[in-house]
Amino acid sequence: MTAGLLYLSVRPQRDAADAEYASFREAARLGVDELAQHDLVAQPLPDDTFDRFSGIFIGGSPFNVADPESTKPEAQRRVEDDLVRIATAALENRTAALFTCYGIGVVTRLLGGEVTRAFPESTGPTVIDLTEGGRADPVFGALANRFTAFTAHKEGTATVPPGATLLAQNEACPVQAYRAGERLYATQFHPEPTGKAFTERMTFYRNDGYFDVNDFDGVAGRVLAASVTEPARMLHAFASRFGTR
């Protein structure tokens, strides 16, 4: 049995996924040999994943959980089924998992919560506050009580799902992060990118409705001007805690 960490890409855009992998690796302070990579859009989850990996990072995606099932492409439906498998394994302590952005919707739905279009956030930096549960959490607890992170999403979680512990919140999106059980984490914000990496990602989604395409330079300027340090510390804490069994 190999104890290690895995990054799962759920982005159809290969270049964007490769850049996201690099951001996760650098933010978590991991070498190339310390963080494996798998494209979940191109290939199903390998059957031996939970034997090989003690912790899993799940990246973001332009997919939306709240879209009608009839409109979802086959790849998205398969991805969501595999993400449910991962979340279930984390709830059963067979691995640890950190779902980000799109993935929080999959976990929320699995836990019986509501995913809604009522709490979108435009592309850019946002201020987030830790809750009492966040301050006591072994992964989030070392962060500043208030910090800045990057967001870009069209849907969100209405209230913390049944049985989960709310870790972080803000006014625009009341559920920014939570933990279910001891090993399942989910964040609405993107914890991995630097400002430079986030602006580079914006180019892949320039026409996808996350921001006014005519204000690309203005949005990019606000991203580059933001001081974003705490989310990467959370990723490093997750890797340190769950990188070995």
Identity of the residue numbered 199: T
Q: At what angle do helices 74-91 and 102-110 cross, to 10 degrees?
A: 60
Q: Report how far residue 66's alpha carbon sits from residue 181's, in angstroms, rounded to the nearest whole number.
A: 24
1: confidence class by pLDDT, cuts 50, 70, 90: very low
Identity of the residue numbered 160: V
Average pLDDT over residues 93-119: 97
Write down the pLDDT at residue 245: 64
Q: Report how far residue 32's alpha carbon sits from residue 29's, in angstroms, rounded to the nearest whole number.
A: 10
pLDDT score of 229 more than 80: yes
Write down the pLDDT at residue 151: 97
pLDDT digits (tens, 9 = 90+) for 39-76: 999 999 999 999 999 999 999 999 999 999 999 999 99
Q: Report how far residue 153's alpha carbon sits from residue 176's, in angstroms, rounded to the nearest whole number.
A: 12
Name all contacts of 105-110 with Cβ < 8 Å and 24+ positions apart: 105/64, 105/65, 105/66, 105/155, 105/156, 105/157, 106/65, 106/80, 107/83, 107/161, 107/180, 107/184, 107/186, 108/65, 108/157, 108/161, 108/175, 108/186, 109/65, 110/84
pLDDT score of 2 more than 80: no
Q: Report how far residue 230's alpha carbon sits from residue 245's, in angstroms, rounded to the nearest whole number.
A: 25
Average pLDDT over residues 7-11: 98
pLDDT digits (tens, 9 = 90+) for 13-44: 999 999 999 999 999 999 999 999 999 999 99
pLDDT digits (tens, 9 = 90+) for 169-184: 999 999 999 999 999 9
Q: Report how far residue 100's alpha carbon sits from residue 13's, in angstroms, rounded to the nearest whole number.
A: 17
Domains of the chain: 5-242 (3.40.50.880)
Q: Note if the pTM is more than 0.85.
A: yes
Write down the pLDDT at residue 3: 62
Write down the pLDDT at residue 244: 80
Nearest to 9 by CA among 230, 219, 241, 192: 192
What's the token pair of residue 26? Answer: 């650098």
pLDDT score of 101 more than 70: yes
